[in-house]
Amino acid sequence: MHESWIAERMSRIDASGIRKAFELARSIKDPINLSIGLPDFQPPAPARLAAEHAIEQGHNAYTLTQGDPRFRERLEQLVAADLGHADRQVIVTAGTSGALTLALACTVNPGDEVILFDPGFSMYRHLTTLAGGKSVMIDTYPNFHIDVARVESAITPRTKCIVFNSPNNPTGAVASEAELRDLADLCSRRNVLLISDEVYRSFCYDAPFVSPARFNPDVLVVDGFSKAYGMTGWRLGFAHGPARLIQEMAKLQQFTFVCAPSMAQQGGLAALDVDMQEYATSYRRKRDMVVSALADRFELAAPQGAFYAFPRAPGDDAARLITRALERKLIIIPGQVFSARDTHFRISFAVDDDTLARGLDVLRALAG
């Protein structure tokens, strides 16, 4: 084929380092896999049964683009009870990734700037590139919290939006209420859209979850069922925000994803009635295992949410640590997947206790 067939933008979009780890795990016999952010529990039984029933009853066609009416209305009720914004609408999407794709494609013009935080989920940067935007990175080392004054100094006339994630992937950091209020107020004052990725909101260990949308009615929130309900393969997400923006996202979804999977929406509706707190409690305990095992060997900002930790590698050489870990069948993610630096590495503790304990033992040994 002709190389010219490939769009130039693709040269600025890297293959996923996380997916590389996933493939690596398949090639190693009996790996200790602390790489993938995949909950180690199954979707709740009512969700599975509802999806099966939908299939057997012939509910296999497209839904309305904005979502199955019963499911969407239930989500709207929950959002309204939480935020009480008169102008807020909901769209059901093909995963949180689908919501982010629609959001950035509907808001970012070529040359617009999107403020992102380092370290952060690599998808934000690549979706910004796809939309024709320019990523402006704000460093959050060493404690991974946001300095709102630094954010304000990065805003220019070309700044269109800020993409924010708390609890954070890869660090597990949870923004304080003061940080959230200040960031939301800043966006309101400077006429910048704040996109809040809240897919890990169910996993807050030291304080209740707070959304910046509480302080700014124009915040666009993206969320989903992958992490909270163990439904990663179901591709079920949603977004809520100002009606005008949600309507544009629905318009674009007609010509891209069309709609979220119909049977998954039936499962999601049933899942909303299931209490998943036991899993958050279990992951809090696993978080404590990680901190107890690693805090005396690594520089580690204790994660307050999600199910990741982001320790600093000895000698700031994550690449060397990754290589040594692989020699012991331990798979972890290098920090450069999420950051301009390669001084840290990410581990996922969304695994069974035995696997986690084995991985922590290897890390302690590697730290010397």
**Spatial CA neighbour of 319 closest among 345, 299, 338:** 345
Give the pLDDT of residue 29: 80
Local confidence band at 19 (pLDDT 50, 70, 90 cut-offs): low
**Weakest-pLDDT range from 263-272, 318-327, 344-353:** 318-327
Q: Give residue for tokens 């370290």.
A: 119
Domain ranges of the chain: 3-43+276-367, 45-271
Query: Which residues make Cβ contacts (< 8 Å) with residue 213, sequence separation at least 6?
Result: 83, 85, 184, 196, 219, 221, 241
Mean per-residue pLDDT over the chain, rounded: 95
Give the pLDDT of residue 24: 60
What SS3 class is residue 220? strand
Give the pLDDT of residue 320: 92
Local confidence band at 10 (pLDDT 50, 70, 90 cut-offs): confident
**Topology, domain 3-43+276-367:** Aspartate Aminotransferase, domain 1 (3.90.1150)
What length does the chain have? 368
Q: What is the pLDDT of residues 110-169, one digit of tens each?
A: 999 999 999 999 999 999 999 999 999 999 999 999 999 999 999 999 999 999 999 999
DSSP string, 80-118: HHHH--TTEEEEEESHHHHHHHHHHHHHPPTT-EEEEEE
**Topology, domain 45-271:** Aspartate Aminotransferase; domain 2 (3.40.640)
Give the pLDDT of residue 197: 98
Task: Return d(Cα 225, Cα 266) in angstroms, integer.
Answer: 12
- Confirm whether pTM is higher than 0.85: yes
CA 180 to chain centre: 17
Query: Which residues make Cβ contacts (< 8 Å) with residue 248, sequence separation at least 6?
Result: 106
Q: Which residues of 198-208 are buried (b: 16+ CB within 10 A; e: fewer)?
A: bbbbbbbbeee
Local confidence band at 171 (pLDDT 50, 70, 90 cut-offs): very high
Task: Return d(Cα 358, Cα 356) in angstroms, integer.
Answer: 5
